[in-house]
Structure 1
Amino acid sequence: MTSNFALRTMILACTSVAAFSFAQVNISGKVLYKNKPVKDVNVSLKDSYDGATTDSEGNYKFQTDEKGAKILVFTHPKYENSEQSINVESNDITINTNLKESLSEIDAVVITAGSIEASDKKRATALLTPLDIYTTAGADGQVTAALGYLPGVQKVGESEGLFVRGGTSGETKIFIDGTLVNNYFSQSTPGLSGRDRFNTSLFKGNIFSSGGYSAQYGQALSSVLLLESVDLPSTTSYDFSLSPLFAGANYQKLNEAKTASWGVSANYSNLALINGVFNTNTDFSKSPNGFGSDANFRIKTKKGGFIKYYGNFQTGSMGVNNLSLEPNIDKSEVDLKSNYTFQTLSYKEKFGKYKLNLSASYSFNQNNLDFTNVENGIASDPFAIYTKGNYVNAKAVVERKISKISVLRTGIEFNNSIEDSQFGSYKKHITDLISSGFAETNLAFNRNFSLSLGARAEHSSYLDRWNLAPRVSMAYKISDTWVSSLAYGIYYQNPESKFINSNARLGFQKADHYIFQLQHNTDGRSLRLEAFYKDYSYLIKTAGSTNFQTAIDNSGNGFAKGMEIFWRDRKSIKGIDYWLTYSYLDTERNFMNFPTSLTPTFAAKHTLSAVAKKFVLNWKTGFNLSYTYASGRPYYDLTQDFNSSIRHQGYLKDYNALNFSVNYVPSIGRTDNKANTVIVLGVNNILGTKNVFGYNYSQDGMRRSPVLPAYDTFVFIGAFISFGVDKTNDAINNNL
């Protein structure tokens, strides 16, 4: 009886299993993209656990006991999700499908010809973040000084500014939150370079474009530097900084809802102490000194947009004694006084598919230079050079997405300048309104190809002329790690106002940019190879003395061509971040008072830089090195007549500088709420190399003196104390 029951039970179970197996249906097929199989595609029935993954041939197969109308779902990170309706009954089902590529800002290829970006984490090459700048030996915490260790930037020490790919410093323009910054650098006396006026910690990122840049930006023949200010601070904090050179304080207040903040800061600098301790190449009758303050507020809107205000106020002075090269004069005393302010307000907001960016700025710059000659101990009456400028910039940009990655962007911009100056008894007043309109579109056809088309039109009220500048760039992903980029564009710029000293009929200066780039990115490593050609036309020609050049026409021309290599590696040597750059530049110009086509005095044929950083966590200390080599630049002694000629010429000796800095962070690893401190020691040109930046000549050309840096070796030491937020942890997170 028992055995019969067991037998019937087994038969019933086998019958049930057979019935269950018979009820299952096989679903199979092949997944393709452009007629090529796609592996690792997840295929499943919606709202069930049944599914499979495609093999290397794009095939999939699974079984299901679901019945009725169902949806078959195909998913893969690189492709758009695909769904197909099926009816599951008793027969096996075969479903083949073709996927469409999914485009996103993260995956799509990015056009990088001519530019290096350090603000967007989606980019593979994140360079020169604020932490990079602070920990680059020799940069002294300045954005523009740190850029000197990137390819394309010339090493020029006798004048402030960025000299990029054969262009003058006036050919590079700097923008903060989209608005043009006039007089970004502090004023200095002839032969000495000014510093950045703005604190690096103000910015969360930057884009440095050495050519081929967007139609959003104009009035720059060579390059643009785009600085983006920080949003809200992470918490309320106050900071102090102290060194033999300066003292400063900063306070930032964040509201409880973390939707708004405001802040103020003040600082005072004076180089008197260091000038008394170290030997200088410059005889300072009055050490450089200055006072500055700034204020800001930031408001996050309900839609996630931002309203930002920033205001900067500065005043400074210095005095220099220069030995005279003229036989009847002992020395020339130069006294400088300057005042500066910059105010900017910006608004950024999204409205559905549209994004609106509004920005406006006002800046004021005033400089008084007094030159006094001393003969036999008797001072002559001062010869004054006085400049005053008021500048207003306003910009509106509307952006609309036309796909997940492609955008259309259009906008208008106005730059109004009012400048008054006096050179001895000569006075001038110049007013110019530059009105601009631009439009461009960034199109991503697939994850391997992107195209940008744009154009910019400008009108100058002073020149009474229009220009139209088309621009195009593209990128193609050769493989998962190699990307190629091309860029072409036309760029216009007004003659600098300091050369407009007559009624000569002038027009826009022009440059055509051609750029080709190859970029290779792997985890922790980046290689960039770039070749460029610039064709200059309508450059101004000038006449007059060395200190008072007057533009006479736009008959100048020139070219600049070269190649650049950038390599950054954070992986090969454990705990060390380093980068290497090499730039080759071949350039000539017939502009200004050049009698013929010559290589400009600011252009070195070969430039090599190396930067290395190591953070030793056990010592709570970061060690930073940088080195720059530049082949000797040319120099000329030109006669000061209408048709100038060359009296003397040659090449300077090669430039060399090894810089070293140490950052000690005693607060790392501490868990209390006491002050976070960073102590910094930096030595520029630690080997004391005697670098020469050029020569000054007497009026008859019989005598000369070298143009030297203010200090052969410069030492900086300072302490930075922060209450409220520990900024030093960035050093660990970035593995420096």
Structure 2
Amino acid sequence: MKVQGQRLFLLISFLSFAWSFSQVKVSGKVTFKNKGVAEVNVTLKDTYDGATTDANGNFSFETSEKEDHFLTFTHPNYNDVEKPISIGNQDISVNIELKEQINEINAVVVSAGSIEASDKKRATALLTPIDIYTTAGADGQISSALNFLPGVQKVGETEGLFIRGGTGTESKIFMDGSLINNYFSNSVPGIAGRDRFNTSLFKGNVFSSGGYSALYGQALSGALMLESVDLPDQSSYDFGISPIFLSAGFQRLSQDKNHSYGATLGYSMLDLMQEVFNFNTDFIDAPQGLNGDFNFRIRTKSGGFFKYYGMYDSNTMGVKSESLEPQDYDFSLVRLKGKNTYHNLSFRQKFGKYLLHAGASYSFNRSDLNFSTEKADMESDKTRILTDGNYLNFKTVLERKINRISALRGGFELNGTDEKLNFEEVNKHYKDLISSVFVETDLGFSNQLSAKIGVRAEHSSYLGKSNIAPRFALAYRLAQDWTTSFAYGLFYQNPESKYINGPANLDFQKSQHYIFQLQRASDGRSLRLEAFYKKYDQLIKFKNLEYVDNQNQYVQTADNNNGYGFAKGVEIFWRDKKTFENIDYWISYSFLDSKRDFMNYPVSVKPSFASEHTISAVAKRFIPEWKAGINLSYTYAKGRPYYDIASKNDTGQTVNYIRHEGRLKDYNALNLSFNYLPNLGKKDAKAFTVFVLSISNVLGTKNVYGYNFSRDGSRSSAVVPPVNTFVFVGAFISFGVDKTQDAINNNL
């Protein structure tokens, strides 16, 4: 037995020695751009042998495998590599240079000039529906919420997005790619129109304050691209009630969840609030409106979408103001009757490697303004301005992915306008068809470098002229959380049709944008610094004004395109959702230096709609134990300039000059709102209810938007908000769906 044991020991020792002798060492280094890459999995394919690279990219392991094999190298941020090797009795050394894996998650995104709220990959995502509804002072309106972002000027006397020294008409708004003509309700001088569209209609947006994509045109300053919801999560019934409006609606989702339809109806009136608050505006006819809409959405079997949205609204109001011409009359009166309808049909479908977007929209808008004067309780000098407009937009975009982050897209667009104006002896019929073609490419060179290059060409049948507008943007990642972007673009826009009341040799208005951005985005926090320069050329000019009973200018005639100007500035934006528990806040600052010589300006001056310094702050806090949210916002804007521009005859020529000028008092407004969710915590709740209390301009600051002047310039009156402080109280109820948890998580 002893001898047998010794023999067995010798046999095991021999086998162990033979086994160790047959082991081969495989080692090497993995690099990217001559630097070692850590955490790379190195594996001998179809075996259990392998290792992971160290901090310097080195690896080493032993194997008893023989003959031909593949050595694989894998890492989430780099392309997989397979290296053939032949294993004999000698150690093997293998060095590998990896190639970066380019993908949508890690790739840097061009963002100069724009903030996107539909792309969840972006830490700067803003203005989702819950952001808008919970921003105090925004009144649930998309355009009002944009006023708390950098680059947007606070101009209260008229509607529109005033972006970086541009007028409100130099920005355009799109729904699912199609242009929305008359996004704002009809209005009277000195009172801004409201958004016609319900914020809940849209699931996201891209707001561009400059350098926007070649897919969009006819805007000198910026663009807001709204994306409507697809299918609702489930069927529901909605009701809203407040002292100023009533609303009801429903959404029906099919059992197969492939199609839905819905409708809403609303009525608003300001009569009751006139009895409660001390209004600055004397409404002889309190503002009231009726609106309704209908929608349907169909998901195709192959994953495409048909979407239709149609709406109708009407609004009326009447305003009475003291006369600046007391020798002629005591009061000026203006009454408005407005009607509008809008239809939008869009289609999205993938065909193999191609994605087709097609959309069409039609809108009709009527603005019926009636002016008169009153003296000794007798009305006279009645004048009517009636404007009817029909607008048609059709657009098709075909897109193909080149690789994971590169794409090529192109298409064409038709934008038709047919307007009729009747005013005393002026009977205008304006027709234009703007046809456009465009092509654009996203180029992802690496996860650190990408570019967007595009060009757009347009032709106007009315002007009889064409243009070509190149666009270019470049983005580079400086570090893990830091990116920088640069954008350049050329932008054209037709002169506004309301200024075309006679023959004139006009051309496209033109602007050039130069934008540089530095951005840091980490989990829950984002910092955005942006500098820009805009150069304006071929802006319209006209010689004089025609007043309608001193209710601001309405009928002017464009004379030429000799206007010009510039705008330059710096913007800072900071948003933080992480530092303080259950608190989301952001702060924005804009510096703007701008001058223009356009319209009836006699010289180049700071435009009356541009404020040099603007600061906004928004804070939101949800308190679970109170079942409530508290929201604050504050805006400060340095006083804008104002001008009284008059005409005089100088050696037989009509010459404009500045008769009075000055600076408005600084704008200040602190806003507060409360949201209360009474059914919080009821897990089986089949309804979602929220009560809202909103107070605009809590401190009652008496802000001034501008001044009107008498014909001889001897008297003036301030243009002020209809009311200094406004309180809104309302309740919103949804049956069939509980969004309480979404509200808590700020994910509505």
TM over 0.5: yes
What amino acid is the match of 1:734? Answer: N
Gaps of 5+ in 2: 547-552, 649-653
1:24 shift after superposition: 2.9
User: For 1:605-624, what aligned pairs fall within 5 Å after superposition?
Assistant: 605-624=612-631
| Structure 1 residues 462-482: Cα deviation after superposition (integer angstroms, max 9, x where no partner) | 000001111111011111121
Q: Is the 8 A contact 1:615 1:735 kept in 2?
A: no
What residue number does 1:666 align with?
678
Aligned to 1:286: 285
Q: Which residue of 2 aligns with 1:633?
A: 640
Indicate conservation of the 8 Å contact 1:218/1:492, yes or no: yes
With 402-411 and 462-471 compared, the bigger mean Cα shift is at 402-411
Task: Report the equivalent of 2:110.
Answer: 111
SS at match of 1:644: strand
Contact 1:613 1:622 in 2 (8 A): yes
**How far apart are residue 426 of structure 1 and its match?**
1.3
Summarize the alignment of residues 518-557 of structure 1 with structure 2, pairs less than 5 Å apart: 518-542=518-542, 543-545=544-546, 546-557=553-564
- For 1:67 and 1:239, how far apart are their aligned partners in 2? 72
Aligned residue for 2:371, secondary structure, equals strand
Specify the alignment match of 2:345 in structure 1.
Answer: 345
Q: Are 1:597 and 2:604 matched, yes or no?
A: yes
Counterpart pick for 1:727 among 699, 715, 739: 739
- SS at 2:737's partner residue? coil
Over residues 388-434 of structure 1, what are the superposed CA-to-partner deviations in whole Å (9 max), with x where a residue is unaligned? 11011000111112222111111100000100111223110010000
In the TM superposition, what is the alpha-carbon distance from 1:46 to its structure 2 partner?
Answer: 2.3
Q: Cα offset for 1:89?
A: 3.7
Aligned match of 1:481: 481
> Which residue is 2:54 aligned to?
55
- CA shift, 1:694, in A, is 0.5
Structure 1 match to 2:659? 647
Residues 1:735 and 1:229: Cα distance change in structure 2 (over 3 Å): closer
- Tell me, in whole angstroms, the C-alpha distance in 2 between the residues paired with 1:501 and 1:180: 24
State the distance in 2 between where 1:477 and 1:32 align.
20
In structure 2, the partner of 1:716 is 728
Deviations 1:302-346 (A, max 9, x none): 222211111111111111111111112111221111111111111
CA contact (8 A) 2:679 2:685 kept: no
Aligned to 2:703: 691
Q: State percent identity of aligned pairs.
A: 59
CA distance in structure 2 between the aligned counterparts of 1:296 and 1:4, rounded to whole angstroms: 95
1:17 Cα deviation after fit? 3.6
For 1:406-445, list aligned pairs within 5 A.
406-445=406-445
Post-superposition offset of 1:68: 3.7
Q: Which residue of 1 aligns with 2:689?
A: 677
In the other structure, the counterpart of 2:22 is 23
1:456 aligns with 2:456: yes
Q: Any stretches of 5+ residues in structure 1 without a counterpart?
A: none
Q: Per-residue displacement from partner, 1:207-246 (whole Å, max 9, x unpaired)?
A: 1101111111110000000000111111111111111111
Structure 1: how far apart are the matches of 2:80 and 2:390?
56
CA shift, 1:85, in A, is 1.9
The aligned residue for residue 700 of structure 1 is 712
What does residue 125 of structure 1 align with?
Answer: 124
Compared with structure 1, are the counterparts of its residues 620 and 417 closer, same or farther at alpha carbon in structure 2 (3 Å cutoff)? same
- 1:318 is aligned to 317
- Partners of 1:11 and 1:86 lie apart in 2 by 35
Please list the CA deviations of residues 7-27 of structure 1 after superposition, one character each: whole Å capped at 9, or x if unmatched. 455444444443433333222
Structure 1 pair 118–32 and aligned structure 2 pair: CA distance change class (3 A): same
**Structure 2 counterpart of 1:439, which letter?**
V
Q: Deviations over 1:103-144 (max 9, x none)?
A: 111111111111111111122311111111111000011111
Contact 1:218-1:493 within 8 A present in 2 as well: yes
Question: What is the root-mean-square deviation in Å for CA atoms of aligned residues?
Answer: 1.4
For 1:9 and 1:130, the matched residues in 2 are separated by 80
**After the TM superposition, which residues 4-19 of structure 1 pair with which residues of structure 2 at under 5 Å, given as runs?**
4=3, 6-19=5-18
Given that residues 123 and 524 in structure 2 are in contact (C-alpha distance below 8 angstroms), is that contact kept between their aligned partners in structure 1? no
Aligned residue in 2 for 1:241 = 240
- AA partner of residue 616 (structure 1): I
Take 1:53 and 1:265, find their aligned partners in 2: how far apart are those partners?
Answer: 60
Q: 1:422 to 1:51 in 2, by over 3 A?
A: same
8 Å contact 2:37–2:56 — kept in the other structure?
Answer: yes
| Greater mean deviation of Cα atoms: 118-127 or 17-26 | 17-26
CA distance in structure 2 between the aligned counterparts of 1:555 and 1:205, rounded to whole angstroms:
39
Q: Is the 8 A contact 1:165 1:585 kept in 2?
A: yes
Residue in structure 1 matched with residue 549 of structure 2 by the alignment: none
Map of 1:377-416 to 2, 5 A cutoff? 377-416=377-416
Whether 1:358 aligns to 2:358 is yes
Rate the CA distance shift 1:249–1:21 in 2: closer, same or farther, 3 A.
Answer: farther
**Contact 1:136-1:624 at 8 Å conserved across structures:** yes
- SS in structure 2 opposite 1:548? coil
CA distance in 2, matches of 1:721, 1:195: 23
Q: How far did 1:735 drift?
A: 8.6
Give the letter aligned to residue 720 of structure 2: L
What amino acid does structure 2 have at the position aligned with 1:695? Y
Question: Which shifted more, 260-269 or 385-394?
Answer: 260-269
- The Cα of 1:652 is off from its aligned counterpart by 0.4
**Aligned-partner SS, 2:436:** strand
Distance 1:350 1:94 in 2: 48
Partners of 2:239 and 2:76 in 1: CA distance: 48
Q: How much has 1:520 moved relative to structure 2?
A: 1.1
What aligned pairs does 1:318-337 form with structure 2 within 5 A after superposition? 318-327=317-326, 328-337=328-337
**Separation of aligned partners in 2, 1:627 and 1:396:** 41
Moved more, 633-642 or 678-687: 633-642
Q: How many pairs does the alignment contain? A: 735
Contact 2:520-2:528 at 8 Å conserved across structures: yes
Which residue of 2 is the match for residue 257 of structure 1? 256
Give distance in 2, aligned partners of 1:346 and 1:648: 50
Q: Report what 1:566 is aligned to.
A: 573
C-alpha distance in 2, partners of 1:99/1:323? 77
Partners in 1 of 2:14 and 2:729 — Cα distance?
88
| 1:138-157 alignment runs, 5 A limit | 138-157=137-156
Equivalent residues of 2:249, 2:262 under 8 A apart:
yes
- Deviation string 1:20-67 (CA, Å, 9 cap, x unpaired) is 333332221111112221111111122332221111211111223334
1:121 is paired with a residue whose SS is: coil
When structure 1 is superposed on structure 2, of 704-713 and 521-530 the one drifting more is 521-530
Q: Distance in 2 between matches of 1:346 and 1:424?
A: 41
CA gap 1:8/1:287 in 2 versus in 1, 3 angstroms: farther
Alignment partners' CA distance in 1, 2:505 and 2:122: 45
Distance 1:724 1:646, change over 3 A: same
**Residue pair 1:179, 1:360 contacting (<8 A) in 2 also:** yes
The answer to which of 655-664 and 450-459 deviates more is: 450-459
Question: How far 1:6 moved relative to its partner?
Answer: 4.7
Q: Distance in 1 between matches of 2:20 and 2:674?
A: 73
In structure 2, relative to structure 1, the CA distance for the partners of 1:9 and 1:664 (3 Å cut) is farther
Which residue identity does 1:717 align to in structure 2?
V
SS at match of 1:607: strand
Distance 1:421 1:735 in 2: 46
Question: Cα deviation per residue 1:182-209 (whole Å; 9 max; x = unaligned)?
Answer: 0000111110011110011111111110
Partner of 2:610: helix, strand, or coil? Answer: coil
